[in-house]
Amino acid sequence: MCGRFTQSKSLGEYQQRFGFSAGPPGYAPRFNLAPGQEALAVLAGEEGRRAEMLRWGLVPSWAKEERMGYKMINARAETVADKPAYRGPFRRTRCLIPADGFFEWAAAQGGKQPYFLARKDREPFALAGLWDQWSGPGGQKLRSFTILTTQANQVVKPIHERMPVMLRPVDEAAWLETETTPENLAKLLKPYAAQDMEAYTVSQRVNSPVNEGPEIIEPVAVTGTLFG
């Protein structure tokens, strides 16, 4: 699964990397993004890519209650085309979620140990996302997203059996393109190349979403872990 990730770059860096127009107000770099919080998302528009702040936890357009989104932070790649909450967005409203890394937890002495996982070169990448718009009973509009997950690669597998779908740069345009067939979309939802990734232990400060800052992703030496 994917329950935390980072968007630690400046808006300008993401704009250059993902090619969207003017960025949304309210964006600030984040080192400990958690479900229920807003994150930067890149959407396809009539005049090119655009960026918006969307809430993490998909609330389907047909949902009766907003709280449904708390159960919809991840969508499994294997079933996304069939599940009622995801099949519509999978066909029509896909998005890129810029990220620099994500966190997973593994069993260790004294409890679960958090790990930070990222590209070795620390370059940003796109998580495969779906978004939808929900209208509340009072007329309020909410746009929200979910992150797709797939089987873990050899870097992630010792920590967790699943990982978020990290799209290859060459596949990002196809993911956003409305004409891409479901069959071709499914081919994009695969584990990222393990040789391009690394994992290391970080402080348990990441366990609380109130903690923020670059120290969240600093490596710490821990004994009794999978890799220590």
Say yes or no to pLDDT of 160 above 60.
yes
Look at residues 12, 178, 161, 195 and name the one whose alpha carbon lies nearest to residue 74: 161
Residue with tokens 């990734």: 197
Largest separation between any pair of C-alpha atoms in the chain: 53
Give the model's pLDDT for residue 111. Answer: 83
Say yes or no to pLDDT of 222 above 80.
no
Q: Which residues lie across from 117 on neighbouring strands?
A: 102, 199
Give the model's pLDDT for residue 228. Answer: 43
Annotated active-site residue 95? The verdict is no
The one-character DSSP state at 158 is T
What's the fold here for domain 5-217? hypothetical protein yedk fold (3.90.1680)
Say yes or no to pLDDT of 96 above 80.
yes
Give the model's pLDDT for residue 224. Answer: 53
Q: Write down the domain spans for the chain.
A: 5-217
Cα–Cα distance for residue pair 105/141, rounded to 1 Å: 34
Q: Catalytic pick from 2, 52, 95, 172?
A: 2
Residue with tokens 């740069």: 169
Backbone torsions φ then ψ of 227, nearest 5 degrees = -115, 5
Q: Catalytic pick from 38, 52, 95, 104?
A: 104
